[in-house]
Structure formats: C-alpha cells, structure tokens
C-alpha cells in the first residue's frame, strides 16, 4: 500500500495546508510564515477565499484527487500536512476522483461505516502510508484554541455554573463512547445529547422543542457544554466554534456556551465575542476537572 | 395542603383507572376485574374508546379537573389510581381547570421546570397529599410488560447483538442522569442519544440523517435500545412500545429494537409482533446485565 515506505515523516521543510473556507487557514498560514516556515496552500475550489489564497504559493484543487495531492505535495517538498477550514458537506458531483483515490475508495468507504474517530484515524493512516504526517492546525498556531476564561463580557450565573458542572459530568460519563461531545443542560436537566447529528442540529432541536412547548423553562436558560472526545485525534478533528454556534445557541434560548479550554478551535475570537455580547450570551473556556480528556 | 391527611392509602377497595387512548386501559381493567376487584374508569374525552369504556362503571372527564376527580374518586370509594393509555399532547384549550387545579397550578408549573422524574414524583406527591395512591398499571396487569425473548419471528444477528451490548453499556453510563433512556447504535457506532425530544423524534432524526447521507451505513442496520431510567418511578412513567415505535424504527432503517425486559409496556403484543414481522424488524426483550436498573 505504501508508495514511499522508507521515508520518515519530519517536521522540517515546507508545510502543506489544505484550505477549506473561512479565515482559519490564513491564521495558520500566517503563524507558520511568522515562524519562518515556507507554506504551500492547497486551496479547495468553491471553499477557500481566492483573494487571501493569492498571498501564498498555492495550488487550486478539488476534493477527491488524492493521487494528485500526494504527487504535488511531494514535489513541493512537503511532508507535514494541515487540514483546516470549513467544508460544507460536498455534493457527490463535486468530488473528482483520480486513480489513486479510486483504488483507495473501498477502504475509504469502509472507514465511513465506523464512528468519526475510526474514519479519521483511517485517513491519517492512509496519509502516513504515503509518507505524509498530519499536523494539527493548533500545533502550528496554538492561539486558535479556545482559551480558559471569558471570551465576551457576560459571565455565567451560579445556576449556569451548576449546569456546566452537570454537563461536564455527563460528557465524562459518555466520553469512552465515540460520540459527539456536546450536551445542553438547563436547570440541571439534560435537554439534549449530541451524537451523529452534530452540534448545530442539536441546537436547532432545542429551539424546536421550545417552540412546541415540549421544553418549558424560563427564556435565556441553559448552557451548551462542549468538550473534545476522549481519544479524539486532535490533529484532524478538533471541533470549531464559529458565529453559527452563537446563532444556534441564541435561537435555542440558552444563557451561554461553555467549552473545555483547548478542546475547540475558535475562528476569529473577537468577532465571536462581539456576536455573543450582542446575543446576550456568555462564552467561557472551562477547565475539565472530571476526566483525563 | 392535604384534604384528607389522616387516610392511609391502601390497595383495598375499587380501582380508579384514568383512561387515555388505545387498548391498554382495558387490558388493565380486565386484569383487575379478573382478580375480583371493582373498577371505575375515568375516561378522558377525545382519547378513551367510548365503546369499550361503556362495559365498565365510568365517568367521562377532561384534563385539568383535579378537584372534581378527587371528589368523585373519593365518593366511589377509590384510593388506588392507575394512569394508563395514550394522550396526544393536549392543546391548551382542551384543558378545563377547576378551582382545585387552579390553586395547584403554580406548583404544577414549577414541576415542569425540572426533569421528567421531578415532574412525576411531584404529581405523585400531590395525589398522595389528597389521600390517593398511584399504582403502576403493570402492578395490576404484569402481562403488559415487555417479556424477555423475541416478540416476532426475526432475531438479532451477531452484529446486532454487539450493537445491543454497546447500547446497554451507554445507557448504563448515562443512567444516573435524568434523561430519556434510549439510544440508537449501528455497527457499534452511536447514532443518537435520546434526551428531552423523546424516542419517536429521535428515530425521525435518524431517518433524516440517513436521507441526507449524514449517516452512511448499509440499509437495515442498527438497533434502538431502550431501558427504564434508573430511579424512574415505574408507577407512572414506564415507556410504552406501540405500532408507532415500529414505524419509526422502520423509517430509520434499523434492523430491530431491543428493550430491557420489564422496563416498558407493550400495547397489544400480537399486533406489534405482526407489525415488526411485516417491517422485517426484530423485537427482543433483553436482560440488562450492566447495572442495577
């Protein structure tokens, strides 16, 4: 299976950044460049911002061209690869396979059958077998991680702190199962537990349940509590918090958002803090005392 | 608060059955009558089946008339009360309060703020304070509980048994939190965890995620695993499995349903077994070896 079995992955040499949408890819590119490292962007057409991509050496690409990517990144001298930025789930016609991808497809489809951890560790393995090393965006730019403490001007009430503690305890209990690590707690009642649907859809569900009076609590009550999965591969799978998370929490009528510090990427913290203040929500990075996450 | 503080609840005397829809109320009434006990039905208008209600001494009522219920049940000599049958969530205009109910409303609304266990233990307490004793339908008619073993003709594959074990383990981990005790597992992956939304809506979510290709598994894969909550008051809050559960599991593309034996009420087992066979789903009552539920 391996093309270049003998090559030992190394942190030396230029950094390949596979860029989705949003500003995060450029935060990472800037951090690497500041550290004196050459950066090569592999910008995904339709997702990455063309104006900002232009500032760095780059190649435009589409999803699914693994063979082309392996060849091109190798030619650029890259061994380390970062995946970063938003990817709206691609329609099938957007995926353009090449021969390498086709040959790997049965294996990739097999990976989709398991949980997310299984999928990601499988993809990591495929890259490693081809001589590449996946590097976490936050290893290059630690400043993109959720810090400890408040992000905006509001802070959790005593009641909210009770909900946060309850949420962390529940996440700790479910941590050994490969499921999305987010819950919503209001007045110590568990309103929702995230699994395959993802955080945004879970928040939309709370908004629906409130609208239909299936959940009856005072307005502006409850906390979204989010942590990294235990055993989660942080190189490729840190959740990220963006303006859509604030919007979802606002529509769900919550009081705020608590994130285990270091367990999520925060795209544009100033913009998010401002959005949270406007929505009258607190955002806090908390230390997780309950587990070894 | 108590009208008849001195009365000790007893199992003697006639049994008051507050009847919602479906056939379960009559399974309970028949069982009590077979045991030689007088039965008085309190049939909820628009829900209970008038033809079958007619076979027993009965009063028609509407939701919300607590004072009238307490007086009438007392006059009938009833101290034991069973709540049983389906209640489509009543529209607010269907609720007709009387003075007693109005006086209790602030307390009842307060109960709605907590988890389900909190709500139900509060309502139980209100009845006890008025000299009544809530009795579980299955205490009168144990035959309505999910038995151990297969209900229809299909049985779980080895893979399904792995999913069932995984589901029971997850339910055991979340058991100390007051949340809905149902999960969906497919190929050992956790697809959904139920909280405030209820089982039917959780199953609808899986169907959506499959339709949108957010979940990619083979068709006819995955198991709904259901247990009673730990500390759940079984007198008033045993979940029930009905034809709608089969329909939901079928639409969600599952292979079957596993229920901890004794932890759910099965309305019309023969009808459900037939529906499961038609939908090519297994239904099995399992023993829970993981906890003290």
- A192 contacts in B (CB within 8 Å)? 195-197
Of residues A110 and B167, more confidence is placed in B167
Instruction: Report pLDDT for B3.
Output: 40
Residue A243: pLDDT over 90? no
Q: Is the pLDDT of residue A110 over 90?
A: no
Residue with token string 């860029």: A19
- Tell whether the model's pLDDT for residue A11 goes beyond 60: no
- Confirm or reject contact between B173 and chain A (CB < 8 A): yes
Across the strands, what pairs with B83? B18
Q: Please give the pLDDT value at position A92.
A: 47
Q: How far is B286 from chain A (nearest CA, A)?
A: 21
The two structure tokens encoding residue A153: 């001007």
Chain B residues in contact with A194 (beta carbon < 8 A): 193
Interface contact flag, A197 B192, Cβ < 8 Å: yes
CA–CA min distance B232, chain A (Å): 15
For residue B176, give how far its alpha carbon lies from the nearest alpha carbon of chain A (Å): 9
Q: Does A217 touch chain B (CB under 8 A)?
A: yes
Report the distance separating Cα A267 and Cα A146, nearest Å.
Answer: 9
Q: Kindly state whether B209 is in contact with chain A, defined as any CB-CB distance less than 8 angstroms.
A: yes
Note the pLDDT of residue A186: 94
For the segment A39-94, what is each residue's pLDDT rounded down to a tens digit?
999 998 888 999 999 999 999 988 778 889 999 999 999 999 998 876 654 444 55
Average pLDDT, chain A: 83
Q: Which of B189, B230, B254 to mutate to test the interface with A (most CBs of A within 10 A)?
A: B189
Give the whole-angstrom CA distance, residue A130 versus residue A133. Answer: 9
Are B214 and A196 within 8 A, CB to CB?
yes
Whether residues B190 and A196 touch (CB distance < 8 A) is answered with: yes
Mutation to test the A interface, candidates B118, B171, B196, most A Cβ within 10 Å:
B196
Considering only CA atoms, which of B249, B255, B261 is closest in space to residue B282?
A: B255
Look at residue A38 and tell me whether its pLDDT is greater than 80: yes
Q: Does the CB of A196 have a partner CB in chain B at under 8 Å?
A: yes
Q: Grade residue A5 by pLDDT with cuts at 50, 70 and 90.
A: very low
Q: What's the N-to-C CA distance of chain A in angstroms?
A: 33
Q: Does A170 touch chain B (CB under 8 A)?
A: yes
What phi, psi does B7 have (nearest 5°)? Answer: -75, 125
C-alpha–C-alpha distance, residues B94 and B197, integer Å:
23
**Residue from A95, A190, A212 to probe the interface with B (highest B Cβ count within 10 Å):** A190
At residue A290, the pLDDT reads 61
Q: What pLDDT is stored for residue B231 in this prediction?
A: 60
Residues of chain A neighbouring B115 (CB-CB closer than 8 A): 188-190
What distance in Å separates residue A105's CA from the closest CA in chain B? 14
* A113 reaches B (C-beta below 8 A): yes
Whether chain A has a CB inside 8 Å of the CB on B214: the answer is yes
A chain contacts of residue B169, beta-carbon cutoff 8 Å: 177
Q: Assess whether pLDDT exceeds 90 at residue A153.
A: yes
How far apart are alpha carbons B204 and B201 in whole angstroms?
5
Is B178 an 8 Å CB contact of chain A?
yes
Query: Is the ipTM reported for this complex over the cut 0.85?
Result: no
Q: How far is the C-alpha of B65 from the C-alpha of A92, rounded, in Å?
A: 57
Q: How confident is the model at residue A138 (pLDDT cuts 50, 70, 90)?
A: confident
Region of poorest pLDDT, from A98-107, A218-227, A271-280, B22-31:
A98-107
Q: Which residues of chain B have pLDDT under 50?
A: 1-10, 89-92, 292-293
CA distance A254 to A207: 9
* Mean pLDDT across A281-290: 87
| Cα four-point dihedral sign A204, B120, B68, B43 | positive
Query: Among residues 118-147 of chain B, which lie with CB inside 8 Å of chain A?
Result: 118
pTM, two decimal places: 0.76
Tokens of A213: 């009076």
Q: Residue A253: is its pLDDT beyond 90?
A: yes
Residue in A112, A177, A229 to test binding to B, most B beta-carbons within 10 Å: A177
Pick the residue from chain B with its C-alpha nearest to A115. Answer: B189
Confidence tier at A291 by pLDDT (50, 70, 90):
low
Comparing A96 with A16, the larger pLDDT belongs to A16
Q: Which residues of chain A lie closer than 8 angstroms to B188, CB-CB?
A: 114-115
B-proximal residues of A, 233-262, CB under 8 Å: none
**B195 in contact with A, Cβ within 8 Å:** yes
Mean pLDDT lowest among A73-87, A200-214, A236-250, B52-66? A236-250
CA distances from A290 to A116, A179, B153, B157, B287 (A): 23, 18, 45, 37, 31
pLDDT of residue B2: 38
User: Would strands B58-61 and B240-241 be described as parallel, antiparallel, or unpaired?
Assistant: unpaired
Interface contact B187-A113, CB threshold 8 A:
yes
């Amino acid at each position: 299976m391996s093309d270049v079995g003998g090559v030992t992955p190394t942190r030396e040499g230029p950094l390949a950044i596979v860029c989705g949408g949003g500003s995060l890819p450029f935060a990472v590119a800037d951090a690497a460049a500041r550290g004196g490292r050459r950066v090569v962007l592999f910008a995904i057409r339709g997702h990455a911002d063309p104006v900002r991509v232009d500032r760095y050496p780059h190649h435009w690409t589409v999803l699914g061209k693994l063979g082309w990517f392996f060849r091109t990144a190798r030619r650029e001298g890259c061994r380390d690869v970062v995946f970063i930025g938003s990817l709206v789930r691609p329609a099938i016609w957007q995926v353009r396979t090449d021969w390498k991808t086709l040959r790997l497809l049965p294996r990739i489809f097999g990976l989709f059958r398991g949980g997310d951890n299984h999928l990601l560790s499988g993809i990591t393995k495929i890259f490693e077998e081809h001589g590449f090393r996946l590097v976490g965006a936050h290893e290059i730019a630690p400043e993109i991680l959720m810090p400890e403490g408040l992000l905006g001007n509001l802070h959790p009430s005593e009641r909210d702190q009770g909900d946060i503690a309850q949420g962390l305890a529940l996440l700790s209990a479910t941590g050994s199962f490969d499921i999305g690590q987010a819950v919503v707690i209001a007045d110590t009642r568990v309103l929702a537990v995230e699994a395959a649907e993802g955080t945004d859809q879970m928040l939309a569900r709370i908004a629906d349940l409130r609208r239909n009076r299936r959940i009856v609590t005072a307005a502006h009550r409850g906390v979204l509590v989010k942590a990294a999965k235990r055993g989660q591969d942080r190189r490729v799978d840190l959740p990220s918090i963006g303006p859509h998370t604030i919007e979802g929490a606002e529509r769900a009528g919550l009081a705020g958002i608590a994130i285990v510090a270091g367990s999520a990427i925060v795209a544009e913290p100033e913009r998010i803090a401002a959005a949270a203040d406007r929505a009258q929500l607190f955002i806090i990075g908390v230390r997780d005392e309950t587990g070894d996450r």
